[in-house]
Each structure stands twice: as C-alpha cells, then as structure tokens.
Amino acid sequence: MTSPAQQHAQDAARFTDLVESASADDWQRPSPVAEWAAVDVVKHLVEWSRGFLKGAGIDLPALDVDADPAAAWRQHVTDVQAILDEPAGRVLSNPHTGDLPVDTAIDRFYTADVWMHSWDLAKALGREPELGEQRSAAALAGMAPMEQVLRDSGQFGAAMPVAEDAPAQDRLMAFIGRDPAWRP
C-alpha cells in the first residue's frame, strides 16, 4: 500500500513535470476549467491547500504563483512533502471533514486534487493526460455514491455526457464536469 507521503511524491512529480515543461507563453493558455488559464490550475492547488493546512496549525507563507508558476510550485511541493514526511501526529480540523491526521487529510483532499488537476494542466498545455484506468475507475466508484453532496459543494460542475463504455479516465472527468474531448 502506498503511504500518503509516497503518493504525494508520485503525483506531485507528475504535475511538476507538466509545470516544468511549460513555457512562459503557456501559462495564459485556456484550461478545461471554465474561466481558468493554465496558471490558475497551479494557483488553485497552491493557494487553497495552504489555507486548508491552517486547520492543522500549519501556516505556510504565501507564494506568488503569477510571478513564477514553476518556482512557486516547486516550493509548494517541497513544503507539503516535508509535512507528509514528518506529520508529527498533527491533526487537521475542518468543519467539512472533521478531525483527521494531517497526512490522511492531505492525501484524501489535496493529493487527489493534484492528481485530477494534472489532467487539466496537461490538456491546457496541449498534452494527453494519463491518470491511469484503474485509479480513475476507483476514484469514480468512490465519488459516485456521494454525487449529490459533491454537486452541492459547488466544487464540481454538472456531469458531462459520455458513453457508458468510455475509458474510466473519460468517465471520471465527465463526472466532475469536464469534457473529455476538450482541446485548447
């Protein structure tokens, strides 16, 4: 079984490869998330998670993603990985999730978000993302029973139509409100 620290290292490395491959001109390319450019995908992951971690008493300094998305992302990954490598028994308290060990909370909410948003960044950069069929199917199976709660949260768009026999990655992206055929 993969630990939260190992899973983050793996997913963050994949996202980092995308970030590092982007040219300065790429950051303003549209993304599959309505009204977001490629830079906004990185900004979302950096900013919301730093606020989320305050629930564990972890106050990380703000990073200027707009000034240098790649540098901000690298620092952010280093900061989060350090927390996962030494969780020190910290508990993250959040009114929506309750109290969870900080490494569990990061794994469930943030690392999973990095993994799914790697699809958005890859698409924005004109690349074909590969989330993995098995993991995509497992994520979809876990999310489907909570569909109404997820929709009510405002964090996911309306499900997009997709064939029932479509690849699991396409079905997952359609479930969270992305058009699997989206192109910049």
**Residue pointed to by tokens 């000034």:** 67
Domain segments of the chain as ranges: 4-130, 131-184
| Predicted local confidence at residue 58, as pLDDT | 92
pLDDT digits (tens, 9 = 90+) for 52-74: 999 888 999 999 999 999 999 99
| Predicted local confidence at residue 94, as pLDDT | 83
| Predicted local confidence at residue 125, as pLDDT | 97
| Predicted local confidence at residue 117, as pLDDT | 96
Task: Give the mean pLDDT of 149-165.
Answer: 83
Task: Give the mean pLDDT of 106-126.
Answer: 95
pLDDT digits (tens, 9 = 90+) for 120-140: 999 999 999 999 999 999 999
Instruction: Give the tokens for residue 72.
Output: 């901000």
* CATH architecture entry for 4-130: Up-down Bundle (1.20)
Mean pLDDT for all residues in the chain: 93
Instruction: Evaluate whether 93 touches 55 at the Cβ level (below 8 Å).
Output: yes
Helix, strand, or coil (residue 93): strand
Residue type, 124: A
Residues of the chain above pLDDT 70, percent: 100
pLDDT at 156 over 90: no
Task: Give the mean pLDDT of 32-47.
Answer: 96
Instruction: Give the tokens for residue 105.
Output: 């909370």
Q: How buried is 48 (Cβ within 10 angstroms: 0-12 exposed, 13-18 middle, 19+ buried)?
A: middle
Nearest to 127 by CA among 46, 20, 48: 20
**Residue pointed to by tokens 């990061």:** 106
Task: Give the mean pLDDT of 20-39.
Answer: 96
